[in-house]
């Protein structure tokens, strides 16, 4: 039996079960079930880690005959970790929400599982059409999660999120259809093979158009400057559990897809467009950091810092070398862990003080020393202190960028400096100074949630060998892919 196929179907079955079960047990059922799914997903690691360069756990059967759409899923060294990230964070979001979601809890927890279904599908699909289906499936539960349980501007934020993403993905659908008319298949490996063999080829203009259609869809999702305007609203308005998943996992859909589809399918256009995209990424890094500096709202501050961090990931991807790509994938995971931790901790602060304004806090370190210590670790991780996770990712990305063009690295490094400014200033205003509020320290259940994340921050910062070899191997496959034949001839001319 194929564990990946089972893993993909389980959340959907759970979603249906959650809808049918009586409301009183839904939240506990979803927590238990998502933990079970996490357990199942751990079984995937061994096989993929042995041969990370090829696809493991492949299921490839026909779904629809005309046009030929296949149910083709599989994992390599990169997508494995993103699937695990999903299965790890969904139970966490479910646990976090046990006490905080009191309004219509049944639907909330059911949507978490539907979201997990879509996310696992996105990270494991190897058929363009199947991938697109999951890409859109993610939208629906997320729309409801923001719109029903969000803050005061939730409907606005949810609609903005939905329409933005939909507009982006429509162009991608057109591009997918165009590729189908050329290749006669939606199957990614089959298309790549045809490209390599020179059976199909895109003219430069076609390739550029297709590249941009895919790129726009992903750029909205990441988001890349200047398509980021939905993000602060959505992150700030969503409930903590949903923000966690959005910041940690949903943003990775965009960066992962850039890596998986844009670089693989359109190597030439990726190369040609890299300077422009890197320019946008660097603007995003600096702009996100500068706006974060002046945010009075904690959630918005971390949301803007996310724009900055994700700029690094995009920079790494379009550096187009081993260091850059490895760093980008590593940073995807690191950002998920450290930003996830920050959003969780901010959620705890909000629970205690019913406010997200930095000005309403101060001097928390005195009544809640443990909270302050944990928050400091997450802050330092986010800044990129050595021995913590983000350092590794950002270091590799900057190294890759420097290899491609030293100026890219120089400008991007500004972002690292600025991140220290806004995060430490934020920390200082919130935790030091005159105590404005009396506040309880971390409760046992809060320790339970945050400890795994702290462990991962250290683990990813120190024992990089657990993760990197698999990631490197699958990136190497991408980098070693020969330029498509017809294009290669043009280059030699």
Partner 1 sequence: MNPAAFYPTSTDILRFLPELILTIGGVVLLVLEALTGDHKDKSSLGYVSIGVVLAAMFAVPVALANPGVSFNGMIVSDGFAAFFRMVTLLVGLFTLLCSTSYLTREKSNSGEFYLLVLFSLAGQGIMASSNELIMVFLGLEIASISSYVLAGFLRDDKRGSEAALKYFLLGSFATAFFLYGISWIYGVTGATNLWAIRDALAKGTEAPSMVVAAAALMLVGLAFKVSAAPFQVWAPDVYQGAPAPISGFLSAGPKAAAFAIFIRIFQTSFDSLSSRYEPILWVLALATMLVGNFSALWQSDVKRMLGYSSIAHAGYVLVAVTTHSNVGTAGAMFYLASYALMNYGAFAAITHISGRGEKYVRMDDLKGLASKQPVLAALLTVCLLSLTGVPLTAGFFGKFYIFKSAIDHQMYWLSALGLLNSAVAAYYYLRVISAMYMYEPETTEHPGPVPAGIQLTMWCSAAGILTLGVFPGLVLDYANRFATFVK
Give the residues lining the site for partner 1 (CB under 8 A). Answer: 64-67, 104, 132-134, 136-137, 139-140, 143-144, 147-148, 154-155, 158-159, 162-163, 166-167, 170-171, 173-174, 177-178, 180-181
How far apart are CB 162 and partner 1 at their closest, in Å? 6
Judge contact between 126 and 74, C-beta under 8 A.
yes
Q: How far apart are CA 456 and CA 452, in angstroms?
A: 6
Judge contact between 461 and 338, C-beta under 8 A.
no
Residue among 184 and 367 whose Cβ is closer to partner 1: 184
Residue among 212 and 414 whose Cβ is closer to partner 1: 212
Q: How far is CA 310 from the centre of its chain?
A: 9
How far apart are CB 96 and partner 1 at their closest, in Å? 21
How far apart are CB 65 and partner 1 at their closest, in Å? 6
Q: How far apart are CA 117 and CA 89, in angstroms?
A: 13
Residue among 65 and 480 whose Cβ is closer to partner 1: 65
How far apart are CB 107 and partner 1 at their closest, in Å? 8
Tokens of 57: 């756990």
> How many Cβ atoms are within 10 Å of 220's Cβ, its own excluded?
23
Judge contact between 237 and 303, C-beta under 8 A.
no
Residue among 45 and 166 whose Cβ is closer to partner 1: 166
How far apart are CB 163 and partner 1 at their closest, in Å? 5
Q: How far apart are CA 360 and CA 342, in angstroms?
A: 18
Residue among 16 and 440 whose Cβ is closer to partner 1: 16
Angle at which helix 322-353 crosses helix 468-480, to 10 degrees, equals 130
Tokens of 228: 């980021």
HEC readout, 386-419: CCCHHHHHHHHHHHHHHHHCHHHHHHHHHHHHHH
How far apart are CB 39 and partner 1 at their closest, in Å? 27
Residue among 161 and 287 whose Cβ is closer to partner 1: 161
Residue among 64 and 489 whose Cβ is closer to partner 1: 64
Q: How far apart are CA 473 and CA 90, in angstroms?
A: 27
Q: Is the bond preceding 226 in cis, omega lying within 30 degrees of 0?
A: yes
How far apart are CB 297 and partner 1 at their closest, in Å? 22
Q: How far apart are CA 406 and CA 386, in angstroms?
A: 22
How far apart are CB 210 and partner 1 at their closest, in Å? 11
Judge contact between 455 and 387, C-beta under 8 A.
no
> How many Cβ atoms are within 10 Å of 100's Cβ, its own excluded?
17
φ/ψ of residue 349, rounded to 5: -60, -40
How far apart are CB 154 and partner 1 at their closest, in Å? 7
Q: With the C-alpha atoms ordered 298, 304, 307, 312, is the resulting torsion angle positive or negative? A: negative
How far apart are CB 234 and partner 1 at their closest, in Å? 14
Residue among 144 and 287 whose Cβ is closer to partner 1: 144
How far apart are CB 137 and partner 1 at their closest, in Å? 6
Q: How far apart are CA 334 and CA 133, in angstroms?
A: 27
Residue among 38 and 132 whose Cβ is closer to partner 1: 132
How far apart are CB 174 and partner 1 at their closest, in Å? 5
Q: Beta partners for 70?
A: 62
Burial (Cβ within 10 Å: 0-12, 13-18, ≥19) of residue 133: middle
Angle at which helix 322-353 crosses helix 298-317, to 10 degrees, equals 170
Closest by CA position to 179, among listed 151, 201, 147, 152: 201
Tokens of 75: 């994992």
Residue among 3 and 140 whose Cβ is closer to partner 1: 140
Closest by CA position to 97, among listed 89, 73, 254: 89
Residue among 19 and 443 whose Cβ is closer to partner 1: 19
- Strand, helix or coil at 293? helix
Residue among 25 and 174 whose Cβ is closer to partner 1: 174
């Amino acid at each position: 039996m194929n564990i990946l196929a089972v893993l993909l179907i389980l959340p959907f079955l759970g979603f249906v079960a959650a809808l049918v079960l009586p409301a009183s047990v839904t939240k506990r059922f979803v927590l238990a079930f998502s933990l079970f799914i996490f357990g199942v997903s751990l079984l995937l690691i061994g096989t993929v880690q042995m041969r990370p360069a090829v696809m493991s756990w492949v299921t490839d059967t026909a779904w629809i005959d005309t046009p030929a759409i296949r149910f083709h899923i599989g994992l390599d060294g990169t997508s494995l970790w993103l699937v695990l990230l999903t299965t790890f964070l969904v139970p966490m979001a479910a646990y976090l929400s046990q006490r905080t979601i009191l309004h219509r809890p049944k639907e909330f927890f059911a949507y978490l599982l539907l979201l997990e279904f879509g996310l696992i599908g996105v990270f494991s699909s190897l058929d363009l059409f199947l991938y697109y289906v999951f890409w859109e499936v993610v939208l629906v539960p997320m729309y409801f999660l923001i719109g029903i349980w969000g803050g005061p501007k939730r409907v606005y934020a949810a609609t903005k999120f939905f329409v933005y993403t939909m507009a982006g993905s429509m162009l991608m659908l057109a591009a997918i259809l165009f590729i189908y008319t050329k290749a006669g298949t939606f199957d990614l490996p089959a298309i790549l093979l045809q490209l390599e063999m020179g059976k199909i080829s895109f003219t430069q203009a076609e390739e550029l158009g297709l590249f941009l259609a895919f790129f726009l869809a992903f750029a909205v999702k990441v988001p890349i400057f200047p398509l980021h305007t939905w993000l602060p609203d959505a992150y700030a308005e969503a409930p903590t559990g949903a923000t966690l998943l959005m910041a940690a996992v949903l943003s990775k859909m965009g960066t992962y897809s850039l890596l998986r589809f844009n670089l693989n399918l359109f190597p030439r256009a990726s190369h040609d467009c890299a300077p422009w995209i890197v320019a946008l990424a660097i603007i995003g890094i600096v702009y996100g950091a500068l706006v974060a500096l002046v945010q009075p709202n904690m959630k918005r501050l971390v949301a803007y810092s996310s724009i900055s961090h994700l700029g690094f990931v995009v920079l790494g991807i379009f550096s187009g070398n081993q260091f850059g790509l490895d760093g980008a994938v590593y940073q995807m995971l690191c950002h998920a862990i450290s930003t996830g931790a920050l959003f969780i901790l901010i959620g705890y602060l909000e629970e205690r003080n019913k406010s997200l304004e930095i000005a309403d806090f101060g001097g928390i370190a005195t009544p809640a020393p443990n909270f302050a210590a944990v928050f400091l670790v997450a802050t330092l991780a986010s800044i990129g202190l050595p021995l913590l996770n983000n350092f590794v990712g950002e270091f590799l990305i900057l190294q890759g960028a420097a290899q491609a063009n030293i100026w890219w690295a120089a400008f991007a490094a500004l972002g690292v400096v600025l991140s220290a400014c806004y995060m430490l200033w934020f920390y200082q205003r919130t935790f030091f100074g005159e105590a404005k509020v009396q506040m309880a320290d971390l409760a046992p259940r809060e320790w339970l949630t945050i400890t795994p994340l702290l462990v991962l921050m250290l683990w990813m910062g120190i024992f990089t060998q657990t993760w990197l070899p698999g990631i490197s191997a699958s990136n190497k496959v991408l980098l070693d892919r020969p330029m498509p034949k017809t294009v290669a001839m043009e280059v030699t001319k």
